[in-house]
Chain A
Amino acid sequence: MRSVETSLALGALFLVGSTAAAQVAPSPTDEESVQVRGAALRSAPRGLGDVRIDREQLTDSPRQQTSEMLSAAPGFFVDHEDGEGLGNDVYLRGFDLDSGSGIEMKVGQVPINVPLHIHGQGYADVNFIIPEVVRSIRVLEGPYDPRQGDAAIVGSATFDLGVLERGYQLKTTFGSFGQARVVGILAPRGASEDTFLAFSLRETPGFGQDRASQSASVNAQYGTDLGTSDHLRVLATAYAAKGALPGVVRQDDVNAGRIDYYGAYPSFNSYFPPGCSNAACAEPAQGVQAARVIFGAELDHPTPGGARVEVAPWLMWTDFRARQNYTGNIDSSNQNPQLGNLGDLWQTTNVETAAGVTTRVRSAPVHLGRSVEAVVEPGVSMRAGHTDQSKSLLDPTNLTTWDQRTSYGLDTLDVAAYLDLDIRMWKRLRVSGGARADYLAVLVRDYLAGGVPTAGQGTAPGSLRDVAGVAPGPRGTVSYEIVPELVPVVSAGEGFRSLDAGSFGSGSPYSQVTSVEGGLRSDVLRGRFTTTLAVFQTNVANELVFEAAAGGLTTENASTRRGFVGSFVAKPARWLLASTALSVQSATFDTLVTGGSHWVPNVPAVLWRTDVNAHGELFRVRGAPVTARAGVGFTLLGGRHVTDTILAPTNDVLNALVSARYRWVEVGFDLYNVLGLKYADDEEYYVSNWSTRPGPAPASQAVHITAAPPRTALGTVSLYF
């Protein structure tokens, strides 16, 4: 296995060697995009991590789910999951973002994050988007753009949908563990790339034990020109997924051969449906079920004076239910203290209905003298929602509730306004940014308040309280183009993330993030070689980390990230695309501990990602070309602190793809975890009393593992007609 040091040195050499020659394509400038009818309003790049990733780069190595496409962005890594229904973990700039809860994600102008989700504030599962209809992703690392709202503490990602190849497509995939997937796309010829209808069905028995899952998704979008200049885009999506979860296995049990690496504990983990009384007919008690429906629209209207107005209303419904046991059987009932322990199977539920609108006006460039050009963009947005959420402990054998921990009804309102300025002086100096303010109001119905401990005789459980506050967000970027090959950039900004309902006190209902970065961008040969080098620091007022005994994520103390991100993208020939990104970072809590730093768990100190793809025409048969694609993606994650004193092993993950197409038939083969390594997707250190034998076991501390998928092969046949 490659060591961290070796990989680090290789990555550094690669980056240093590339700096002089090359770099990541920055977002298109406003001058480019303003002439594209119906394209989203775009502005100057905000920071060194402001990148638009096109379809070619998104598909240069195997990426089965839409969330994994984010790994194509510098510094990002999204784990490959075999199951469905849970948002993937995202690593970026010193953050381990469980289920994406720290990145503002949007599809078009529709926000995907759920601000006060029971599974983590800002929870975002983007796998309702069918990967084949993702045209590009705009990624912005850091809170440096006034347009960024709730959850953008590490950055944001906006998914742009469209189908480049027009006509009908039918894809069928079969592969390891018996998994199967069918995708159909209707993209009428003559209609714009915006217009398509797509569906996806997937089923997998899963690797190892208790990992079967199913999902279905429909994405439909219609784009049309209205009159001579307006453009309307309407989006509708529906998604449902269900999957079993195996839970964790203890490292000491795996080492002793008491349980398989890909196994699941039998105790406190089996549900016996009515009529079933033995293990043969038992079902996994742990699992997840999720659904999402979205309707959205975007109207783009250019004014006669050259300004552009965009209005984007949307409506969203999400439903989530997870059952997970991390610790075996160590919890007691608070509501009924006499009750014996019945297992730590946590059930979390979250149902939200939300609606909102974003409106912005981007002025035509205003010239102040001969040297200064300015573009002004004011904007407003609104998000209102109602959420019912709960967290309970269930008896795994019959799934009845034996203790309720939280039960909330939440009415949320986020009203925001921002002003963005983009000023270019003497053609070389660019100052962009502005200010944003979000008024956040939450009405909390706590249905269990006063129940435990009891509020007193004659007092019924339950309370009603409201919390409100204004989250200010100054954000800006300054860049100076010495030459296109050398552009120093400095950015700073403040972002925010809603707090969870249980953490609301008398203060504001959000936690603040302050971030700053500085570095260089180099663009050689009009984007054929692009390099970025950035150092950054991010201060988080309230950390959000996994707490096993609490059954999920909890708010903790303040923390600080410091690090470096370097990236290099090369398109030396039409048939070759190569990209690499190296990030080195630290993530520590601000509280002092004896003997050293108190590390934020599970953050890789080193993250190195490299993708290479070759594609083009091989030869011709009867006058028609036979084209082929081959790609590899390599990821190294090293230096993850499980605790202050325990480091997780370094993970080396290699994926590869190859495909060939002749006329209307394409055959492809994807291979994940080519090296066939047994590695953990997640490692945590805590107390549990899991046992492979019947009867109670004493509790002890141990490393707990959630296994990543073993080697996975998928074959795909695609028909285009």
Chain B
Amino acid sequence: MARAAVLLLAFTALFRCSGVSVPAAGDGGSCFPDSDGLTGGDYVFDLTVDDTGFSKNILTTQNLAHVTLTVKNAGTTAHGFEVECKPVTAPAGCARTSCFPAASTVVPLAPGASQTVVFATPYPEGIYTFRSSAPADRAVKALSDGQFIVM
């Protein structure tokens, strides 16, 4: 019986020894789920914009990814690039809106000009809307409905 008791205690100790790790502070993990468990990576995008739209309507990266984005204006008027903030569900004490960093914005470029920006994608996953940063382009659907997918 003594042996059985020892075995039972050892088994109980082993069964209880698993733990739960807390996400590192500051990466958003304590506020938002990361459904696929993957973060980071290097991504390079070349985007051409003209008076009718962007050369790509969908850009896809992981969250916390390192992105190098080059935007070239091939149109006849000024066009740029920016990503809209989106509302997110989060517990008290966490941000209720998720935004790309300011470094991701390309101010309206003169026709023929190009600019490269480097930034990190935010932690909250989801589909963000990207558009031209030129106010005059808000009325053009194809310049306002791009999708930046953060997985």
The chain A residues found within 8 Å of chain B, CB to CB, are 329-332, 334, 337-338, 340-341, 429, 452-453, 478, 480, 488, 490, 492, 516, 518, 535, 537, 539, 543, 545, 547, 549-550, 554, 556-558, 560, 589-595, 598, 643-644, 685-687, 689, 696, 698-701
Contact = CB atoms under 8 A, between A and B. Distances in A.
Contacts of B101: none
A541 to B, nearest CB: 12
Interface in B114-146: 127, 145
Contact of A591 (B21, B36, B46, B56): B21
Contacts of B90: 594
B29 to A, nearest CB: 7
A590 B14 CA distance: 17
20 contacts: A332-B59, A337-B46, A341-B56, A452-B44, A478-B7, A488-B4, A490-B10, A490-B11, A492-B11, A518-B11, A543-B37, A554-B38, A556-B37, A590-B18, A591-B29, A594-B90, A644-B33, A687-B149, A687-B151, A698-B145
A537 B15 contact: yes
Residue of B4, B18, B45, B59 ringed by the most chain A CB atoms within 10 A: B18
A539 B18 contact: yes
B103 interface: no
Contacts of B56: 332, 340-341
B147 interface: yes
Interface in B11-57: 11, 14-15, 18-23, 29-38, 42-46, 48, 55-57
A699 B58 contact: yes
Interface residue range, chain B? 35 or more
A593 B33 contact: yes
Contacts of A558: 21
B46 A699 contact: no
A535 B11 CA distance: 11
A594 B147 contact: no
B147 to A, nearest CB: 5
B127 A516 contact: no
Interface of B: 3-4, 7-8, 10-11, 14-15, 18-23, 29-38, 42-46, 48, 55-60, 68, 70, 90-91, 127, 145, 147, 149, 151
Contact of A332 (B18, B29, B60, B68): B60
A518 B43 CA distance: 48
Contacts of B19: 590
B42 A516 contact: no
B21 A337 contact: no
Contact of A701 (B7, B58, B127): B127
Contact of A337 (B3, B70, B145): B70
Given A337-B46, A547-B38, A591-B37, 9 more contacts: A341-B58, A453-B68, A537-B15, A549-B151, A592-B20, A592-B21, A593-B33, A594-B90, A595-B91
Nearest to A549: B151
A453 B127 CA distance: 25
A388 to B, nearest CB: 24
A480 B14 CA distance: 19
A134 B9 CA distance: 41
A330 B149 contact: yes
A590 B58 contact: no
Given A539-B18, A558-B21, A452 B42 contact: yes
B60 A549 contact: yes
Contacts of A338: 46, 48, 55
A696 B22 CA distance: 41
A560 B58 contact: no
Contacts of B32: 594
Contact of A592 (B30, B37, B57): B30
A590 B21 CA distance: 6
B70 A490 contact: no
B18 A453 contact: no
Contacts of A488: 4, 7
Nearest to B19: A590
A592 B22 contact: yes
A598 B33 contact: yes
Contacts of B8: 518
Nearest to B31: A594
A560 B45 contact: no
Nearest to B145: A698
B20 A590 contact: yes
Given A490-B7, A594-B32, A594-B91, A700 B44 contact: no
A556 B15 contact: no
4 A-B pairs with least C-beta separation: A556-B37, A337-B46, A593-B33, A516-B14
Nearest to B94: A594
Contacts of B38: 547, 550, 554, 556
* Most B-side CB within 10 Å, residue of A539, A543, A687: A687
A502 to B, nearest CB: 11
B35 A644 contact: yes
A340 B44 contact: no
B14 A492 contact: yes
A687 B44 contact: no
A698 B128 CA distance: 12
A241 B22 CA distance: 46
A332 B61 CA distance: 9
Contacts of B42: 334, 452-453
A700 B127 CA distance: 8
Most buried by A among B11, B22, B34: B11
Nearest to A644: B33
Contacts of A595: 91
A557 B35 contact: no
Nearest to A338: B46
A609 to B, nearest CB: 25
Contacts of B35: 643-644, 685
Nearest to A558: B21
A199 to B, nearest CB: 43
Contacts of A643: 35
A480 B4 CA distance: 9
Contact of A699 (B20, B34, B147): B147
A643 B33 CA distance: 11
A488 B8 CA distance: 10
B31 A340 contact: no
A405 to B, nearest CB: 11
Contacts of B58: 329-330, 332, 341, 689, 699
B11 A516 contact: yes
B44 A453 contact: yes
A516 B145 CA distance: 52
A590 B19 CA distance: 7
Contact of A516 (B15, B34, B68, B147): B15
Contacts of A685: 35
